Copies of this chain bind each other. A is one copy, B any other.
Amino acid sequence: MTGIRQSWLDIPANSHFSLRNIPFGIISTRSNPRHRPAIAIGNYALDLLEFSRSGGFEKSGFTNISVFESSTLNAFAALGREAHRLVRSYIQAILTAGGQFPDILEQNNMLRELALLPLFSVQNHLPLEIGDYTDFYVGRNHAYNCGIIFRGPENALNLNYYHMPVGYHGRASSIVISGTPIKRPVGQILPDPTATVPVLEPSRRLDYELELAAFIATGNNMGERINVDDAEEHIFGYVLMNDWSARDVQAWEYIPLGPFTAKNFGTSISAWVVTPDALEPYKTRPLQRPAEAGVLLPYLQEKKQETVYDIKLQVEYQTAEGDKAVIANVSTQYLLFSFAQMIAHHTVTGANLRSGDLIASGTISGEDSHSYGSLLEKSQAGKVQFIIGQSTRTFLRDGDTVTFTGAADDSSGAGLVGFGEVTGSILKSDF
């Protein structure tokens, strides 16, 4: 482990919030209900409002500290990546053992007391106020598996699929922070496969979707495009996402304009925004583009070869009966397009992105049933039950809890760059 910087704080080796990470979030505490910015480090949150008010940034060269007075990270995100780099590397410096600024926090008992809060004592809130939310569909295995279920193997992937990151606009108002319960939605469904007239009932096929999502730092003007090689500079950071989906509602409603009420009832995200700089060491080549897919149009061709991350994602399922198991492990390497490509495509016709917009990858699935990012795939559209301890499932039942975790690790001993978790439990419908 020689040459690797360590913190003077005791950071557990399996912590998602190593010195390499420094993710940003919004917290409150019982003693101070005000929503305020923070970073996560080991088992602590560093309260950036308190830290900046106490002069913590005085030696940093970062002068826009008024952004930490805000109840969201929008103002900080909008400063752009140079500002995020400056703040992150300065915070790394003050947290490093034998670092440049021991007087700021390490040797400052009073500020440590005030600003360094045990993670278990903080409540997280949505990190940014979200303008528009866009959901892509670039997990190729998921798209293929769903395509077979909805349209049969011949039409599983439409002709356009390998030429563009397919996506659609989602619902921003119902994006909630990890831990928020999700009420089983009531919607129009066909009561049986031969029916042609719908009923209004609680969804029988409630599902989750395992996704990675990016918050936009700086946008573009309407009528302009973001170049694919510049696009990463527009990203503030990433969160895990669970895009809850009612598959029976979706199957009935999605032709011809796409999913609508099947997905607009709730979408959960993890609390801590992990910066592109923290994830940069975990870039790799995408796995998923077959040779026969042909050549991309130039506006989607990136100069870099390593364009996607290798973040290890995990789905843990806890049943209402109390059984618990990890039912999927998959890497984000299975994304067909990078976030830079999603941004370039999103803006190609001149749509303007704004600071605080959220862009999600679509469900990430691997090659086999232990790597599927949705129950639609795992249960083969309800045909196959899977086992969790003493319980069996095809889709979500009331009282079940789904928890996604994700972290990148290069086994260097420098620690994990992780997201913590995004978790949610299903409440009974009130219908």
A99 part of interface (Cβ distance < 8 Å): no
Query: Which residues, 136 to 166 on A, are CB-close (under 8 Å) to B?
Result: 137, 147, 150-151, 158-160, 163-164, 166
**CB distance A345 to B176 under 8 Å?**
no
Q: Does A171 contact B (CB under 8 A)?
A: yes
Q: Using a CB-CB cutoff of 8 Å, which residues 10-32 of chain A contact chain B?
A: none
Which one of B164, B188, B349 contacts A348 once the chains associate, using CB atoms below 8 Å? B188
- Which B residues are in CB contact (< 8 Å) with A150? 256
What sequence of 0s and 1s flags, for each residue 242-270 of chain A, a beta carbon within 8 Å of any chain B beta carbon?
00001001001111111111101110000
Known: A160-B252, A260-B167. A173 touches B352 (CB 8 A): yes
Q: Which residue of B lies closest to A188 (CB)?
A: B164
Rounded to whole Å, the gap between the CB of A284 and the closest CB of chain B is: 27
> Interface 1/0s, chain A 303-340, versus B by CB < 8 A?
00000000000000000000000000000000000000
A349 touches B261 (CB 8 A): yes
- List 25 A–B pairs whose Cβ atoms lie within 8 Å, in order of A's numbering: A131-B172, A158-B255, A160-B188, A160-B253, A163-B197, A168-B168, A168-B257, A169-B171, A169-B260, A173-B222, A174-B222, A174-B351, A183-B223, A183-B350, A185-B348, A186-B349, A198-B297, A200-B298, A200-B348, A222-B265, A223-B427, A257-B259, A258-B259, A261-B346, A264-B346
Residues of B with C-beta under 8 A to A252 = 160
Assess whether B196 is in contact with A261, with CB atoms less than 8 Å apart. no
Q: How far is the CA of A150 from the CA of B168 in the complex (A)?
A: 19
A binding-site residues for B, Cβ under 8 Å: 131-132, 137, 147, 150-151, 158-160, 163-164, 166-174, 176, 183, 185-188, 196-200, 203, 219, 222-223, 225, 246, 249, 252-262, 264-266, 294, 297-299, 345-346, 348-354, 357, 427, 430
Closest-CB distance, A356 to chain B (whole angstroms): 10
Assess whether A222 is in contact with B266, with CB atoms less than 8 Å apart: yes
Q: How far is the CB of A198 from chain B (nearest CB, A)?
A: 5
CA distance A187 to B344 in the complex (A): 11
Taking CB atoms, residues of chain B closer than 8 Å to A147 are 256
Residues of B within 8 A of A357 (CB): 173
Cβ–Cβ contact B198 & A257, under 8 A: no
Of A169, A176, A196, most B-chain CB atoms within 10 Å: A169
Assess whether A352 is in contact with B174, with CB atoms less than 8 Å apart: yes
B164→A253 contact, CB < 8 A: yes
Cα of A75 to Cα of B430 in the assembled complex, Å: 31
**Which residues in B have their C-beta under 8 angstroms from that of A260?**
166-169
Smallest CB–CB gap between A22 and chain B, Å?
29
